[in-house]
Amino acid sequence: MMADRWTRMVRQQVGLGRFLPLGGPYDGAWIAERAASGVLRDAAEREVPEVRLDVVRIGLADPGEAAEPAVPAPPSALPPGPLRLTAEFAATAAWPLPETASRLRTALAVTATERIGLDLTEVDLRITELLDTEPPSSRPGTPETRGGTDTSGGAGMPGAAESEAARAPGSAGVAGAVGGGPEAERVAAVVLRVPGVSRLTGVWGLPVRLGEQAPASGDALPRRHARVDLAVAAGFRPLEVARAVRAAVAEALPDRPTVAVLVTDLD
């Protein structure tokens, strides 16, 4: 059973892709690459319908320029720094290819920076195929285009009924979906009241984690650290929601711990 649970958790993390920094080193927020890619695909489909966006990858533009985050990063998260988006696409000949690539580059860059909050500085595009007809729309339904993650059967992840209950601050559903003790439940209730938070998630089973952060120097005492995994509702900018969550969690606990936010889904 334990081996099966770890296998499901590893598969879930692999499906989310890397964790990309939101904002700068002092924002303490990350977003799953899969969630960001879903929004980027929607933008490409909407703004440049003659294009089929295939491979999309986001990474550091220059690892040497990456900064140390002000709070502990989630495992496998990229450090804050300028990002580069690379993508492969197919397109029709309805527009000259350089113009199509320019429109696609603009759509991706604007969405990444303004809609999501990524520090995107480079967009590299490669055309791989010429299409005879405009690609069909995939917007009506797949999780990939919505940026969502399939949580069915995930270890420790709330199902549909639990997610509905967990949206009600102070309800029994918060305790059932969160675990981790009364403080974690209080943090969960506070987070769910922040505008733009649609639900709690949890990549490694628990959506709220409370622990200790190692001191920067040997003379300092350990400081508590909190991490919250959540989904952001449609129409809200993930970076702004993450900032609000960090402030709310720090205010809710008497020792004002450091706080990190991991956005796993965009609903």
Query: Cα–chain-centroid distance for residue 33?
Result: 6
pLDDT digits (tens, 9 = 90+) for 16-38: 679 999 999 999 999 999 999 99
pLDDT at 188: 95
pLDDT at 203: 67
Q: What are phi and psi of 73, to 5 degrees?
A: -85, 155
pLDDT digits (tens, 9 = 90+) for 228-243: 999 999 999 999 999 9
pLDDT at 144: 41
Could you tell me if 27 and 243 are in contact, meaning their C-beta atoms sit under 8 angstroms apart?
A: yes
Q: pLDDT confidence of 178, banded at 50, 70, 90?
A: low
Does this chain's domain 16-145 share its CATH topology with 149-266?
yes
pLDDT at 216: 52
Spans of all domains in the chain: 16-145, 149-266
Query: Is the full-model pTM beyond 0.75?
Result: yes
pLDDT of residue 173 exceeding 80, the answer is: no
pLDDT of residue 218 exceeding 50, the answer is: no
Per the CATH hierarchy, to which homologous superfamily does domain 16-145 belong? Cation efflux protein, cytoplasmic domain (3.30.70.1350)
pLDDT digits (tens, 9 = 90+) for 84-127: 999 999 999 989 999 999 999 999 999 999 999 999 999 999 99
Q: What is the second-level CATH architecture of the domain 149-266?
A: 2-Layer Sandwich (3.30)
pLDDT of residue 145 exceeding 80, the answer is: no
Per-residue pLDDT, averaged over 164-179, amounts to: 45
pLDDT at 214: 55
Task: Say which range, 32-41, 153-162, 174-183, 257-266, has the weakest mean pLDDT.
Answer: 153-162
